[in-house]
Amino acid sequence: MTGPRVRRAVIALGSNLGDRDGLLREAVRAVDATPGITVVAASAPVSSTAVTLDGLDPSKPTYLNAVLLADVTLDDDALLDALQAIEATHGRTRDVRWGDRTLDLDVVALDDERIDTERLQVPHPRAAERAFVLEPWLQLDPEARLAGAGRVADLASRLTERTRPVPGATSLLDPAPEPSPGAP
């Protein structure tokens, strides 16, 4: 007798409203606490300019982004439902497409699978164009590949927009770093 099929998921996290670092750390804990999902690694957060339907928008609040790797036994819809429930619990609303958000959780990859349903596209259709996905992913797996697109390192090297490191940032699996003296 064999157990449920385990797939390695790459999940991108983002937040540009509220306590962004705290929200991302809470989200990683919530994902890991979900039956059928085991987080195995999480990047440190990086900072990025907001992307809207019209492109980069530096007038919007800056995002913190990260990537986590998880072993998943859930089916596609159950995984998406679980992630959307975590977003909702953390104040995510879906009023404006590509609008500001407290929390965004996107399935970037599931092993090397290709999924194209009304609810889910994997690999994520814009992952290869997003430094805020590729660069944190490389923190976790320098040899990562995006199905149908190639090596993540090669994809990232072709992008002109880059993320910015967050001083003192640690893996989202680590306790939150202490604020530096004099920090607000």
Concerning whether 101 is annotated as a catalytic residue, the answer is yes
- 88 alpha carbon, distance to own chain's centre: 16
Measured in degrees and rounded to the nearest 5, phi and psi for residue 76 equal: -55, -50
Catalytic-labelled residue, pool 7, 21, 25, 104: 104
Catalytic-labelled residue, pool 101, 112, 116, 158: 101
Catalytic-labelled residue, pool 25, 92, 95, 100: 92
Which residues are CB-neighbours of 55 under 8 A, at least 6 positions away?
none
Concerning whether 104 is annotated as a catalytic residue, the answer is yes
Catalytic-labelled residue, pool 7, 20, 21, 106: 106
Two tokens, residue 70: 């998880």
* Closest C-alpha to 128, from 116, 113, 144, 140: 144
Q: What is the DSSP letter of 44?
A: P
Q: List the catalytic residues.
A: 92, 101, 104, 106
